[in-house]
Structure 1
Amino acid sequence: MDLGTIIGIVVGLVLVVVSILLSGSLVAFIDVPSILIVIGGTISATLVAYPMSAVVRSMKASMSIFFQPRIDHVGTVRELLKAADAVRKEGPLALEKMKPPSEFMGTAFQLVADGMRPEDIRHVLTIEAEAAYSRSMEVIGVMEKMAELAPAWGMIGTLIGLVIMLLNLSDPSAIGPAMAVALLTTFYGALWANFLLSPGATKLEERAGRQSEDFKLVIEGAMGMARNENPRQIQQRLMGFMPPSDRAELQAKAMAKKKA
């Protein structure tokens, strides 16, 4: 579970609900036709802009902001150093006995075990990493387009409501409630775009960047193993990719392991 996402959404919803209850009724802010216009219109327009397969992938990926844990660079480096130590002692075929935490790392281990040259390992893994990043950016692009379209469809729903209201001006007492309902579509569009779609796209973009950095660690580690380098030498090079906080965490865990 991504705790930050859960906390952000819960706190945001609580603030919106409390602000409504302090000055009005929550029921007054619920209008099914307005919700259908915003959600249905946004999805329909996105299907015009992108292939259906890309939109479906984006909807599935959007759920991962709640469940996918943060990528752990320190854990990746520790796994690579463990593998490098096994290669140094037993040879590349020792990697076939290991169970890597990710498919990408498993591919890297297999390439090393197969005796592929370091330059070829870099080439193969870089192609795979770039393809994964490209797929992630396509999903992010779809979500950003939906965030752009949602407020526009909210305005379209408001215009529809205003036209209906103006056609029924014979009853002045109904103008206020009708105007309130008409404005709800704008509210829904702005809320969906700025509370879920746009922040969700930013979350996925940050995650794609971290995954890309994680792939670089795996590539460098695999090349070091293919060259039969000392695990300490591999560690020093991998630490060059890591921020100071991750370096300190890695060194602290290494010290704790030695003391144990």
Structure 2
Amino acid sequence: MDPATLIGILLAFGSVFAMVTMEGGHVESLLLLPPMVLVFGATLAVGLAGSTLKSTLHAFKSIPAAVKGRTVAPLDSIDQVVTLAEKARSEGLLSLEADAQETKDSFLAGALQNIADGTDGDELRLMLEDEIHSKKVSDQTASKFFRSLGGYAPTIGIIGTVVSLTHVLENLSDPSNLGPMIASAFVATLWGLLSANFLWLPLADRLAKISELELDRMTLLMEGVLAVQAGSQPLLLRERLKSMVPPHTLKAGKAGSSGGKNDTKGTAQDGRKDKLKAAA
């Protein structure tokens, strides 16, 4: 789990509350129910109005994935593909059917099953590219929804302030309450800006980033399994796949390795690589 989103949002709101406290104000003066109901309720309502019910539900179902931020390290995917390449060279492509049934990754399982079934390489590439494209469109639907909320919220906050100021102008006969009433009126604008920049837009960016990493992983697996089908040499395949990964991402994945099953496979692969170099 990557807690970056939770940490960032909590620090952002904490900074605002800290500023209010340091200036001698009261946090309770910002936690006014009427403007918060207007800003959050109306923002969600216009977001729904500009989208579809299915897209809205899909967007909110994607929030746990954004919070958890689970991604697979590129080195783990590379090790997995290289292991499959070694198995295919020693036991044949048909042996990959067992791996297709064991893996929990539906994308990889489908690719391996098609290889075992003898699907043509060009046709398999088209199938996998279509699946990657469908995943991209689905992910963009969620991130675009929250980005639209980030655009609506500040304007809705201004609407709330205008409504409150109208009420203030109706009570000019009571000067003693004008100050608190005007201050309360601007709370709606504040929550519009806070919700947009501290919640909706970060969620949209987070979903877009998680999607980018997942699409990169799927592309890596696609190129890997197609190379396995073509009979690529495992060690050369490893170097080719590593060249597809940005250096900083590759290093981060290696440094963050937890020493699990995939890491053991990688160590074994490196050992075989060293043996081959020594034999040469």
TM range (shorter): over 0.9
Amino acid of the structure 1 residue aligned with 2:28 = V
Report the counterpart of residue 20 of structure 2 in structure 1: 20
**Residue 124 (structure 1) aligned to one of 123, 127, 147:** 127
- Distance of aligned partners of 1:169 and 1:203 in 2 relative to their CA distance in 1, 3 Å threshold: same
- Distance of aligned partners of 1:259 and 1:83 in 2 relative to their CA distance in 1, 3 Å threshold: closer
- State yes or no: 1:73 paired with 2:70: no
Distance in 2 separating the partners of 1:133 and 1:172 = 57
Distance in 1 separating the partners of 2:72 and 2:182 = 47
- What per-residue deviation string (whole Å, max 9, x for no partner) do you get for residues 179-221 of structure 1? 1111111111100100111121112112222222111111111
Report the counterpart of residue 156 of structure 2 in structure 1: 153
Report the counterpart of residue 222 of structure 2 in structure 1: 219
Report the counterpart of residue 171 of structure 2 in structure 1: 168
Sequence identity (%): 25
> How much does 1:2 deviate?
1.8
> How much does 1:236 deviate?
2.4
Aligned length: 260
Q: Which region of structure 1 is more displaced relative to structure 2, 59-68 or 117-126?
A: 59-68
- Distance of aligned partners of 1:41 and 1:228 in 2 relative to their CA distance in 1, 3 Å threshold: same
Distance in 2 separating the partners of 1:246 and 1:20 = 39
Amino acid of the structure 2 residue aligned with 1:31 = L
Report the counterpart of residue 134 of structure 1 in structure 2: 137
> Does the Cα contact within 8 Å between 1:54 and 1:138 map onto a contact in 2?
yes
TM-score normalised according to structure 1 size: 0.92
> Does the Cα contact within 8 Å between 2:155 and 2:192 map onto a contact in 1?
yes
- State yes or no: 1:34 paired with 2:35: yes
Distance in 2 separating the partners of 1:259 and 1:128 = 35
Report the counterpart of residue 11 of structure 2 in structure 1: 11
- Distance of aligned partners of 1:259 and 1:236 in 2 relative to their CA distance in 1, 3 Å threshold: closer
- Distance of aligned partners of 1:172 and 1:246 in 2 relative to their CA distance in 1, 3 Å threshold: closer
Q: Following superposition of structure 1 onto structure 2, how do residues 161-200 of structure 1 map, counting pairs within 5 Å?
A: 161-200=164-203
> How much does 1:71 deviate?
3.8
> Does the Cα contact within 8 Å between 1:20 and 1:26 map onto a contact in 2?
yes
- What per-residue deviation string (whole Å, max 9, x for no partner) do you get for residues 24-82 of structure 1? 11111111111110011111111221111111111221332211313422211111111
Report the counterpart of residue 208 of structure 2 in structure 1: 205
Q: Which region of structure 1 is more displaced relative to structure 2, 238-247 or 195-204?
A: 238-247
Report the counterpart of residue 276 of structure 2 in structure 1: none
> How much does 1:101 deviate?
4.7
Amino acid of the structure 1 residue aligned with 2:52 = P
Distance in 2 separating the partners of 1:205 and 1:168 = 47
Amino acid of the structure 2 residue aligned with 1:191 = L
Distance in 2 separating the partners of 1:256 and 1:135 = 36
Q: Secondary structure at the match of 1:69?
A: coil
Distance in 1 separating the partners of 2:208 and 2:173 = 52
Amino acid of the structure 2 residue aligned with 1:161 = S
> How much does 1:96 deviate?
2.5
User: Would you identify which runs of 4 or more consecutive aligned residues in structure 1 move more than 3 Å?
Assistant: 245-250, 252-260
- What per-residue deviation string (whole Å, max 9, x for no partner) do you get for residues 136-163 of structure 1? 1111111111100010111111111111
> Does the Cα contact within 8 Å between 1:79 and 1:100 map onto a contact in 2?
no
Distance in 1 separating the partners of 2:267 and 2:54 = 48
> How much does 1:259 deviate?
5.2
Amino acid of the structure 1 residue aligned with 2:18 = V
Distance in 2 separating the partners of 1:182 and 1:223 = 61
Q: Which region of structure 1 is more displaced relative to structure 2, 89-98 or 52-61?
A: 89-98
Q: Secondary structure at the match of 1:63?
A: helix
Distance in 2 separating the partners of 1:158 and 1:221 = 56
TM-score normalised according to structure 2 size: 0.86
